[in-house]
Amino acid sequence: MAGGNGDALMQYCDIQEEKSGVTLHLLGGWTIFTLPEIAKELRAFRPARKTKITIDGKKLESFDTAAAWYLGTLRATLEQSGALPHLHGFREAHLRIFDKISRLRPAPEERAETKTSPPRFLTGAIVALGRVAAQVWEDAYRGIGFFGTFIVTLAGGIFRPKRLRLRSVAFHINEIGIKAVPIVALMAFSIAFVMGYQGAFQLQKFDATVYTIDLVVLSILREMGVLITAIMVAGRSGSAFAAQLGTMKLNEEVDALRTMGENPFEVLVLPRLIAIVIALPLLAVLADATGLFGGYVFSSSYLGYSPMQFLARMQGAADMRQVLVGLSKAPVFALLIGVTGCMQGLKARGSAEDVGRKTVTAVVQSIFLVIVADALFSVIFTKLGI
């Protein structure tokens, strides 16, 4: 009739079959930690229909809400299969827990409602794609609006320099520019050195190592100097903008400014954007200089050029135009990084976690935009024949 296997391994349940029905003695500690064992012991417990089942809780030592939930489920399943369970001999404290939890059981129709089917794979992918597209559109739209606000606020500030907050601008130039000097210099030097090394190795095959200098000088001045600087600034300052403004937004500091009649854009964003537009080109000049120095160190140590030979070769390869081509991109990159960082920061809402997410987005987006813009510049400069 009943399926209790009756061996000595039953630690939490003791099933006794009598003529009048089945008695299920609950033993020891019924807690969330022992539930897996209890479930195992009762797996084979399948009493026949109309069996009277006495669930005896006299020997229970402890009983928690998870166990109460399990016992309630057990009782419901037994009732559904047609058996007639009832509780007996429970301590008052245990019974109180059981009653409390039993009252919380949802009605069957409510239960069905909580089960939501996961989205199908294809639908899910299309929905995700649509979300990303909408997000990109929204970011682009807001970014353009942000840029426009910057221009308008800046124009307004030209007539009232006090509104440009020069102290704040100076502070941010120090943060973005001066503190980044060592790392940018080191990066540009190393990149130039590596390019020289790789270039010389290839050009050697054509017996044209002398062109290594042309290669290094041109790529540093036109591309690498400013690109390396922009990527470094995106990582250092774009992320800092997003994190600072995001934290201020969550901390309601932005709202506090607004209630004081201040324009948060003017107080927080404008100084950062002015500072980055000044600092990034200056860093790019530094990157050009240290990059050229890296090229010289390589060619003197590996190719044996004297300083005068290097200078002569360099002047033959590049003129002021190359320097300007490279540096002309710097303010554009600066704005892309600054606008992306500030915009993402101000978009943060909800929790500190969102600030982290927006910071990541700011860095990824600004590096992506810098590289796309660089590609566009290359096309434009080539078409113009510069």
The site for other proteins (CB under 8 A) is made up of: 31-33, 35-36, 39, 64-66, 69-70, 73, 93, 96-97, 99-101, 104, 106, 110, 113-114, 349-354
Tell me how far, at minimum, the Cβ of 13 lies from other proteins, in Å: 17
> Residue 157 and residue 173: Cα distance in Å, rounded?
18
Of 96, 66, 60, whose CA–CA distance to 74 is shortest? 66
Other CB atoms within 10 Å distance of the CB of residue 28:
15
Tell me how far, at minimum, the Cβ of 76 lies from other proteins, in Å: 12
- Name the residue nearer to other proteins (CB basis): 58 or 349: 349
- Name the residue nearer to other proteins (CB basis): 34 or 209: 34
- Name the residue nearer to other proteins (CB basis): 198 or 351: 351
- Positions of E strands within the chain: 13-17, 22-26, 28-30, 52-56, 60-63, 84-88
Q: Residue 170: which residues within 8 A CB-CB, separation 6 or more?
A: 275
- Name the residue nearer to other proteins (CB basis): 64 or 288: 64
Do the beta carbons of residue 217 and residue 317 sit within 8 Å? yes
- Name the residue nearer to other proteins (CB basis): 60 or 173: 60
CA 312 to chain centre: 49
β-sheet with 84-88: strand ranges across: 13-17, 22-26, 52-56, 84-88
Tell me how far, at minimum, the Cβ of 350 lies from other proteins, in Å: 3
- Name the residue nearer to other proteins (CB basis): 105 or 179: 105
Tell me how far, at minimum, the Cβ of 96 lies from other proteins, in Å: 5
Other CB atoms within 10 Å distance of the CB of residue 83:
20
Tell me how far, at minimum, the Cβ of 67 lies from other proteins, in Å: 9
Tell me how far, at minimum, the Cβ of 28 lies from other proteins, in Å: 16
> Residue 314 and residue 216: Cα distance in Å, rounded?
9
- Name the residue nearer to other proteins (CB basis): 110 or 207: 110
> Residue 341 and residue 294: Cα distance in Å, rounded?
31
- Name the residue nearer to other proteins (CB basis): 77 or 301: 77
Tell me how far, at minimum, the Cβ of 81 lies from other proteins, in Å: 19
Structure tokens, 103: 């009252």
Q: What is the DSSP letter of 350?
A: S
Tell me how far, at minimum, the Cβ of 43 lies from other proteins, in Å: 12
Structure tokens, 201: 């190795």
Half-sphere exposure of residue 250, counting CA atoms within 13 Å on the CB side?
A: 17
> Residue 88 and residue 102: Cα distance in Å, rounded?
16
